[in-house]
Structure 1
Amino acid sequence: MAKQSIFGRIAQLTKANINALLDQAEDPQLMLDQLVRDYTNSIAEAESAVAQTIGNLRLLEQDHAEDIANAADWGRKAQAASGKADELRSAGNTVDADKFDSLAKVALGKQLASEKEAKDAEPSIASQTDVVDKLKSGLTSMRQKLDQLKGKRDELVARSKTVQAQTQVADALGSIDVLDPTSEIGRFEEKVRREEAKVLGRQELAASSLDSQFESLDDLTEQTEIEARLAALKNGA
């Protein structure tokens, strides 16, 4: 019954659709971590059961081999006793000959019993061998599935970290958009432009005042020249 339970567990776990489980999970990484733990625990339990089943099979095989060896040994003893009986009977010692024939019969009975035990054990050995082979195959499938799960989990973690890094970079780039007029950089640029315009205005005002002064100087020179010429006329020059 325990062996059938192990069979069912192996079949259920090896047929698990990882992608379907991930689609249904709210947190795929946590789901994969839990699956890895479940598979690891199930494999450990299955390994223990398989080891016990293999141990029982080996004991059956040892008993079978011992029965075969005992049958052969009793066969040799029966042959030796029968040969001794024939030798004694040829010598005219029928009493002892009969004793050795009786021993031969006992040995042959033991041989038959050992052969029967060996033969009766063979179906059980064959059945247990099939069970062990299937359990070993199931364990191999479970280990492969576990490796697949671990690979899927590691891939998912790596992809998740990549997405997080890309999101951080995108957020950082968006926060320093110099073309955005509402950004700090845009406001500072506008302030600098206003200061530059103010300097240009002051320079223009300064230039205008200087031109006025030179124009006044030119007017004064011209007036002086007129006064000088008028004085010359009066003096009869």
Structure 2
Amino acid sequence: MSIFSRLSDIINSNLNSILDRAEDPKKMIRLIIQEMEETLVEVRSSSARVIADKKDVQRRLGRLRNDADDWEAKARLAVGKNREDLARAALAEKQAITDEVTAVEQEFNALDDHLEHLGNEIGQLQLKLNDAKAKQKVLLMRQKTVSTRMRTRGQLNREQLQDAFEKFEHYERKMDSMESQLEADDLGRNNKQGLKNEIESLAQDEAINAELARLKADLKSTDQG
């Protein structure tokens, strides 16, 4: 997946804007860094080739200048020997070499400018790469912080639930104990109350029987009179 189409896209990119639009900022910043690093390698490789070409051109310039000086010396020698014809020929060779020197110097200057441009691009690209790595570090730290907070919150929730369960079980056991005590107390009280009720019932029956006997006796006396 290519995020940037050319080097200028990287240099002119707004990382914050790219990350804001990304569904997965962590993945996006990783891809951005990867592409920047690959581009940086390519630009450095290009710079290395330009440096090598520049050195080669510099050596050619040195040889051509030496050749021009050599033909200059030959022309002087010919003039000294009154051989103007040879001097002219030597100067013509020197002129041809001088023209070539001018062309090679232009090539050298173009390579020098190109190398300077690549150096500027490398510097800007390195700054962008450093910025991207800093943003990646921030994202990782934020993710770690969020994960830690979620784990902590989860742990707290589990501890709170466990504490609530333990309290509930404690109160449940306490209520069971109190109910058991009440039931135990009621067992004794129910037996005593039942016995009392039975005795009172017997006494009540005797009183009713006595009243019934009295009424029968009164009726019998009335009938006889």
TM-score above 0.5: yes
Q: 1:110: how far off? A: 1.6
Question: Structure 1 residue 9 and structure 2 residue 43: aligned?
Answer: no
How far, CA to CA, are the matches of 1:120 and 1:163 in structure 2? 64
2:106 maps to what in 1?
123
What is the identity, as a one-letter code, of the residue corresponding to 1:162?
T
**Shift of residue 103 of structure 1?**
2.7
> Residues 18-61 of structure 1: CA distance to partner in whole angstroms, max 9, x if unpaired?
11111111111111111111112212222222322332233223
**Residue aligning to 1:106:** 89
Q: Higher mean Cα deviation, 48-57 or 12-21? A: 48-57
Match of 1:65 among 59, 62, 73: 62
Aligned with 2:165 (options 179, 184, 195):
184
User: Residues 1-237 of structure 1: matches in 2 within 5 Å?
Assistant: 9-83=6-80, 85=81, 97-98=82-83, 101-177=84-160, 183-195=164-176, 197-198=178-179, 201=182
Distance of 2:95 and 2:16 partners within structure 1: 60
Aligned residues: 185
Partners of 1:184 and 1:178 in 2: CA distance: 6
Residues in 2 aligned to 1:179 and 1:117: alpha-carbon distance in whole angstroms: 90
Which has the higher mean CA deviation after the structures are superposed, 53-62 or 9-18?
Answer: 53-62
In 2, the alpha carbon distance for the partners of 1:76 and 1:10 equals 50
Checking the alignment, whether the CA contact within 8 Å between 1:178 and 1:186 is kept in structure 2 is: no
The one-letter amino acid of 2:136's match is R
Q: Counterpart of 1:107 in structure 2: which amino acid?
A: A
Gaps of 5+ in 2: 190-225
Give the letter aligned to residue 127 of structure 2.
Q
Q: Offset at 1:167?
A: 0.7
Q: SS at 1:31's partner residue?
A: helix
Q: TM-score, normalised by structure 2?
A: 0.70
Report the Cα distance in structure 2 between the residues aligned to 1:20 and 1:115, rounded to whole angstroms.
55
User: How much is the aligned-residue C-alpha RMSD, in angstroms?
Assistant: 2.8
Q: Give the aligned residue type for 1:197.
A: M
State the alpha-carbon separation in 1 of the partners of residues 151 and 90 from structure 2. Answer: 89
For 2:86 and 2:168, the matched residues in 1 are separated by 120
Letter in 2 for 1:141: Q
Distance in 1 of aligned mates of 2:72 and 2:162: 105
Unaligned runs of 5+ in 1: 1-7, 86-96, 209-237
The SS at the match of 1:16 is coil
Maintained 8 Å contact 1:10/1:139: no
Deviation at 1:203, TM superposition (A): 9.8
Q: Deviations over 1:73-103 (max 9, x none)?
A: 21122212322x1xxxxxxxxxxx44xx333
Amino acid at match of 1:50: S
